[in-house]
Each structure stands twice: as structure tokens, then as C-alpha cells.
Amino acid sequence: MPLTTQATPTTYWLEHAWLGTHAEPGVTVDTADGRITAVRTGTDTPPPGATTLRGLTLPGLANAHSHAFHRALRGVVQVGTGTFWTWREVMYGVADRLTPDSYYALARAAYAEMALAGITCVGEFHYLHHAPGGTRYDDPNAMGEALIAAAADAGIRITLLDTAYLSAGFGAPPDHHQRRFCDDTAERWAERADALKERAHARIGAAIHSVRAVPADQLGTVADWARQRQAPLHVHLSEQTAENDACHEAHGCTPTRLLADHGALGSRTTAVHATHLTTEDIELLGGSRTGVCMCPTTERDLADGIGPAARLQGRGSTLSLGSDSHAVIDLLEEARAMELDERLRTRTRGHWTAAALLRAATADGHAALGWDDAGALETGALADLTTIALDSVRTAGPAPRLAAETAVFAASAADVRHTVVGGRQIVRDGVHTLVPDVPTALAESIAAVRG
């Protein structure tokens, strides 16, 4: 059964619960109609009829940046050497072979893997819109609808960030691979995006693929579409120095300045990566309260570099986390990596507390995706929970009061024991309740799209 509002009220007893500042033992959470209706501390034993969640229970994790079809690249693009640009050619090969049906199967399996990793909401940065050659499907949103259905059937929430992609780079026409991504003009993109409808588990946002892929005079059209709908707007930003160099050549400024000049920054905007920034760029992003999504496992896999996350947050940017290309799907690793990468860059420790990193993986990630009512264990919030084992070979030993530090700095996706979405248990004791054999679903859907 796909994700729906829970049919009956359910009570969960949490052995330990992360309440935003500390790990609290013995917490009871009542849920009804998909939301938390009460949080009661000081309950040393499970109430009658309650479902017990042993370990540390957090709000559900939010994966703020995903390209679902990149899951088929895992293990393939790690062979040999190269750069982001050579990786991109392999990615195009997979994109060329996807259909709405095969994309649904691959995304459902990838989203089920996310549920097993404790992710309850995904931000899908969706630019694979059309048939090979750029011909529109009979339903112009067939690929986006496949992703929305895949998320429902894997039991998680989705924000479909429908992506404007119009150019191969600063006015260059799209190549034969990119024609699948393109809508000719921003107005045509907006017309197609208008037809997408939200539903209980799905919200619709917008994305500018990059300043390379959307001409400067059309950036405002995409930004206005999101602004009029109060929808999230995401954009790949300065992931590569080559993008910065090309933007300077075309416009005499950085990509961040170009976005600022065309009204694309602000509190509903999230810049993804933001790896190679000037001091002025950091001021523009922080001063406009533009969020930043860091994707450390992809950024290191592609040799992108280490972005100035601490400086960005210090200037006013809220940070979220994403698994992006899915070299791994593990939000705990993304949180840990953001801190550890900053340690390598600065040779000092302790840039973020475990609490701050958990907030990036939960409440701030949800807010970046337009789910402001998720990401906290409090009355009225969506009843989305993730439980991490505290008795595995990775997590056994530390005192329960250090459960947050244990989760962030020692646990992995393999330690996720339970996942609850909308009050319904989607993962129980490490087993997905809707997709009974996730490894086989992944293997079969990936085999179908590999050359």
C-alpha cells in the first residue's frame, strides 16, 4: 500500500528521543491523522498497546538534493580516473536509456533505500523531462509523475523540484543528450510545470539547473514562478571552477552575483554545493538568507572541493544536506562529512555540534523542501520518525546522554532500525514494509538501464 494518512491513531514509545537539545529517555509519542498529537516525557516503560522503538529516535531525515537515476552509477563511475566532466558523460549514457516505466522502477528502489536509511522526505532535482531527442511524452510530465508515484510506493514524501534546463552553457544549444532535459524557453518550462499537482505526500518546487543551463534573461521567469507559488527554488551553484570562469567570460561576474541580479536569491532559495565562492558571494548568499545544501559524499567523489559551509552559515545561510549522486545514501555520513571535511580544510575541530548537524539533516532540510511542518518531535508536527540502534558494533558503548554524538559521528545508514512516515511504520527492524526485497529491486532496475 502506498503512503497514505494512517488509518488509526498509533502510540510509539521511544527508548531515547532527540528533542532538539538532548537525548531524553522514555518518551511516548501519540499520532493520529499523520501528525504528532502528544509528546510525553518521563514514561519509563511502554504504555499498553504502544509500539516500542528501541534506540535513539530522531525526526525523520530530509535528503534535500537527489537525482534518483544517478543511483545506477554507483560502482561504475568509481572505475579509473577523471573529473566531474568525464563523470557527466557516463551519467548521460544512463539518462539516454530511461523511460517513464524504468524510471519509476529505479526511483522506487532508490527511495526505498532512502527509507531504510531513515530518510522520510526527498528533494528530487528533476531535469529528465522528455523522450530521447527532446520529444514530449503524451503527458509532458510523465517522468515527473513517475517520480511522484515512486516516492508514494516507497513510503516517503517528495518535493519534486522541476528543473528548468534550456542550454548547454551560456547560450550554447543543448547537445543530443541534453535535449531530453530542455523546454526551449523558461515560459515553456513554466507552462509544463504548472500542470504538476501537489498531493498528500508530494509538493512541487522549482529549480534552475545552473546559470550555465538557463540564460540570464530567463532566470527571472523561473524565480518568479517559484515566488508566486511560495514554492522552494533550488539551483546548482559554483560546483566547478569552470562554471565560474565561463560565467565571468559571458557576464563579467560570478554565478552568485548573476542570480542575485535576476532576483533568484532569498529565503526560499537553496543553492546546492556552493563550493567555489568569493567573499562577496558568501555575503550575497548569507545576506539574502539563501540556504545552502551541502552534498559532501558527492563533492568528494567527484573531486569538486570543500565548500565554505561554516562561513556561509556564519553569514546567515541555513545549511541542509543531500546525497545528490548517491555514491552512498546515508544522511548521517553527510552530516559527519560536513564537519570532518571542514576539519581537514582548517585543521581545527568542532565547527558544528552534533545537535547542529542533526538539525541540518532534519528540520532545516525539510524547510528547504517546503515542509516546514516536519523535522521536530513536537505536537502538531508530521509524524515522521527515524530510530537509530544504539547497540550495534558501531554504536555500542557510549552513555545514552551521548546518543546524538554517537549517531552523528559513529552510526551509519546500516544502524537505522525503524522509519515512520505519517504515523505509519515504513521500516520495521531494518526491513522495508512496502518493498519486501530492496536489493533485488535495485539490482533489477539498474540492470534495465545499463548499457
Catalytic positions, written as ranges: 273, 324
Rounded distance between C-alpha atoms, residue 299 and residue 194, angstroms: 32
Compute how many other C-beta atoms are within 10 angstroms of the C-beta atom of residue 126: 29
Sheet architecture: strand order including 119-126: 61-66, 119-126, 157-164, 202-208, 233-237, 269-273, 291-294, 319-321
Compute how many other C-beta atoms are within 10 angstroms of the C-beta atom of residue 350: 8
Cβ neighbours of residue 353 closer than 8 Å, sequence gap 6 or more: none
**What one-letter code names the amino acid at 143?**
M
Which cell numbers in the block locate residue 51? Answer: 509500539
Cβ neighbours of residue 361 closer than 8 Å, sequence gap 6 or more: 61, 62, 320, 321, 331, 332, 334, 335
Rounded (10°) angle between helices 331-346 and 354-361: 130
Of the candidates 325, 323, 332, 333, the one whose C-alpha atom is nearest the C-alpha of residue 293 is 323
Q: What distances in angstroms separate CA 10 from CA 29, 51, 59, 109, 423, one per listed residue?
A: 8, 8, 16, 27, 7
111 within 8 A of 151, measured Cβ to Cβ: yes
Which cell numbers in the block locate residue 192? Answer: 509544463
